[in-house]
Amino acid sequence: MFGIFSLPKILFTIVVIVAVWYGFKWLNRRQQVQRDRAKNGRLSEAGGGKNTAVEDMVQCPDCGAYVPEGGHHNCAGPD
């Protein structure tokens, strides 16, 4: 009688443990995929994508400040 009652309990416990274990594995894999995707996105951006909002920066020969190439820049520093 006791064995018939405890066997489903044991099976249920095993199923819960396995489910939690797989849940953790799935979460870890998902985080790894997101990390890889972020890394790849940054790499493709650095590779010269067309949608990059960052312009090429050039150093002003007068004040030494880095300004967008082709942009209007006045050497309006203090002093």
Using CB under 5 A as the criterion, which residues of the chain lie in contact with Zn ion when the complex forms?
Answer: 60, 62-63, 75
Q: How far is the CB of 56 from Zn ion (least distance, A)?
A: 16
> Which residue stretches of the chain are H helix?
2-46
For residues 51 and 38, is the Cβ–Cβ distance under 8 A? Answer: no
Query: In terms of CB distance, is 33 or 57 closer to Zn ion?
Result: 57
Q: How far is the CB of 70 from Zn ion (least distance, A)?
A: 14
| 61/75 Cα distance (integer angstroms) | 10
| 44/52 Cα distance (integer angstroms) | 10
Q: How far is the CB of 57 from Zn ion (least distance, A)?
A: 12
Query: In terms of CB distance, is 55 or 62 closer to Zn ion?
Result: 62
